[in-house]
Structure 1
Amino acid sequence: MVMDRGQAHTLEAVTAAMILVSALVFALQVTAVTPLTGSTSSQHIENQQAAVAEGVLAAADENDTLAATLLYWNESSGRWHGATSDGYVQGAPPTAFGNVLERTFLERGIAFDLSLYYVDANGERQREPIVDLGEPSDHASTVRRLVTLSDEDPIRAPNQSPTGTTLDDAAYLDGLSDADENQSLYSVVEVEIVVWRM
């Protein structure tokens, strides 16, 4: 009688082990783990990149290097000095803010796109690329910041020095016009930076 009970327990244990191994094999076949599978470490990297980008934009806005880059505009070509119609496609703009972007991101293997968004005279939202370094990955982080431009802000020359032309008198961004003729506010634009690991 004791022998029969031992055999029954052994049979139960073997059956339970087979079910457990079968379930484990099935779960491993169903789940595909690839290098691009999201993990807590990749989420941490995305959050860190977003925080760095936010800090870079905030510091550049505070010390006016962001506005100086936005005003680094070639009126005759209707684009940034030395840029293509897609913006700067080989790296950051040759400005103080561009140097910070270069050191902070590109030298550390992080790509970025930098864009300016504005509302034109017809009320349509427009995008003007400043830097276009390619297609962001699925794990890209996006940060945006509003920047106020005033009528007296000077357009910048290729050597980054102010020209004699202010925004109020310049041909700046297709369709962007003075938001309020009676005040010094020219426009409020949105700067967007998208960062991702190369």
Structure 2
Amino acid sequence: MVSEDRGQGHTLEGIAAALLIITSVAFALQVTAVTPLTASTASQHVETQYESAATGVLATGAADGHIGPTLRYWNESDGGFHNSSADGYYIGQAPPTAFGDDLAQAFGSAGVAYNVDVTFATESGTIQDRRLVHYGQPSDTAVKASRTVVLYDTDRILDANGTPTDTTLEDANYFAPDAYDGHLYNVVVVEVTIWRM
């Protein structure tokens, strides 16, 4: 009789333990949601490729001298970049410049979006941003790359055809102010943010 009670006790303990394990697994599966946006090794690899591509485009654009002219492709009368939206930046398209061509060639494929923002110092030493290209709100998996560009007082504003005008940055109504003494006008950071749509 004693051995039968002991056997029933072990059986009940086993059933209780099994129910506890099954309940824990069921709860864990409900709490953990796997979605198409869940990070995986494949998506991490794609994000790394996008980051490398953005870094490469910025490096090539700087080496070829494409970024500076795009920053100076400025319409003083409208207070925005030439041929841009009413907000003064490019919405859903690359600028019609050599750097814009670099961006379109690298990221113009379907399913890829990017923003380009310019950060600069003000005369008081605070930092401000200016949009250059805007495709929308980046996703949680967006990656960024940036490049520093030096602007000088004698750099000239470009007209709508991309031809340098007689107006230099120090004389222009430009988005970034002359924040430094001497020949240095401003030091800006161009940041590219890329994500899959």
Common topology (TM > 0.5): yes
Given candidates 73, 92, 95, the residue that maps to 2:94 is: 92
Q: Alignment partner of 2:171: what SS?
A: coil
Q: Which amino acid aligns with 1:28?
A: L
TM-score normalised by structure 2 residue count: 0.85
RMSD: 2.6
Q: Which amino acid aligns with 2:49?
A: Q
> Unaligned regions of 5+ residues in structure 2, if any?
none
Q: Which amino acid aligns with 2:30?
A: Q
Alignment partners' CA distance in 1, 2:71 and 2:181? 20
Alignment partners' CA distance in 2, 1:109 and 1:100? 17
CA 1:32–1:90 in 2, change beyond 3 Å: closer, same or farther? closer
Q: Alignment partner of 1:44: what SS?
A: helix
Greater alpha carbon shift after TM alignment, 126-135 vs 161-170: 161-170
TM-score normalised by structure 1 residue count: 0.84
Alignment partners' CA distance in 2, 1:24 and 1:121? 60
Deviations 1:39-79 (A, max 9, x none): 22222211211111011001101111011100101111111
Report if aligned partners of 2:153, 2:178 keep a CA contact under 8 Å in 1. no
**Alignment of 1:192 onto 2:194:** no
CA 1:122–1:15 in 2, change beyond 3 Å: closer, same or farther? closer
Q: Which amino acid aligns with 1:39?
A: S
Alignment partners' CA distance in 2, 1:27 and 1:116? 44
User: Paired residue for 2:129?
Assistant: 127
Report if aligned partners of 1:86, 1:131 keep a CA contact under 8 Å in 2. no
User: Paired residue for 1:75?
Assistant: 76
Shift of 1:187: 1.3
Alignment partners' CA distance in 1, 2:88 and 2:80? 9
Q: Which amino acid aligns with 1:53?
A: A
Q: Alignment partner of 2:132: what SS?
A: strand
Alignment partners' CA distance in 2, 1:75 and 1:86? 11
**Alignment of 1:137 onto 2:139:** yes
Report if aligned partners of 1:168, 1:178 keep a CA contact under 8 Å in 2. no
Q: Which amino acid aligns with 1:63?
A: D
CA 1:167–1:86 in 2, change beyond 3 Å: closer, same or farther? closer
Deviations 1:130-168 (A, max 9, x none): 111111111111112110011221211111111122223
Report if aligned partners of 1:147, 1:189 keep a CA contact under 8 Å in 2. yes
Report if aligned partners of 2:79, 2:88 keep a CA contact under 8 Å in 1. no
> Unaligned regions of 5+ residues in structure 1, if any?
none
Q: Alignment partner of 1:97: what SS?
A: helix
